[in-house]
Amino acid sequence: MRKWHYAVGALVILLAAVLTVYIRNAGPPVNRDQATWIWDLNGLLEGSEANIPEVKDFLLRHRVRTVYLHAGEDVEGSEKPLFRSFILQVGSAGVQVQALGGERNWALPEGRSGMYAFLNRIDSYNASVPQEERFAGIHLDVEPYSLPEWDKDQSEVVRQWKKTMNAAAEYARIHSLQLGIDLPFWLDRIPASADDSGSSGKLDRWMMAMSDSVTLMSYRDKAEGADGVLALVKQELEDAQGSGAKVLVGLNVAPDSEAKLTFDGEDAGRFRAVASRIRRAYAGNAGFGGIAVHDLAAWMRLEK
């Protein structure tokens, strides 16, 4: 009997040792949450609410927590019932839907009225539907660096862009909405310029401070190397720690101008492997918000 007790004790000690080693080597938990863009809800659903369950199932299987849903004028028009049903059904499964909008000239004084029209449209929509059918946030895709004004006077465009983002942040705060922003991966190299208080820094940090989440358009089809995603987003993910904002790493599966910018036409397994490598690399980063996939229609085609 005593030998049996010794054997059990030895086994318990061995299991405890194995568990300790496992926990030590396991490291921090990996963030597997994902987000995605939808640019054309009517096209994705082929105009029918009957197709929402298939999309919802895909979102849940791939751990999508946030959808950036483009909200044009149709959100208040003929497609309003489709928006309402989609937000209701995916929202019941824990998927947050943010209203997506943006034009590059929204960063300029003469184009800012376009953003206000977008915000008013979302305000009108949300006010007209029950809570469970409302947008939970706004997500801005404003890319003024593709304007000719950027090359002529970058600091002035940055100054005006910051005014636009201040207005968006104020709107989000007043309406208790999340604010997300699409940004290029190289914004850590752009000065934010002095603000009214005289402080200065890099523009990526300023944008993080203004928003709840930042989605980096880090479109490459590999994780490693000097031109791989990990190298391109390194500084932003370092800046994300302690910023208060979540930074998502964007990967592209839609057709693009260069093969290196997208996984379009590649094997879905390779795409998943690159995404997994990025998740593991930033498992210990409190600012890492997961992977954002551009866009849902192309993603669903890739995974078929």
pLDDT surpasses 70 at 7: no
pLDDT surpasses 60 at 1: no
253 within 8 A of 303, measured Cβ to Cβ: no
pLDDT, residue 271, reads 98
Of 143 and 193, more confident: 143
Mean pLDDT of 151-180: 97
What are the structural domains of the chain?
A: 32-302 (3.20.20.80)
pLDDT, residue 148, reads 97
Q: Which two tokens stand for residue 64?
A: 């999508």
pLDDT, residue 26, reads 58
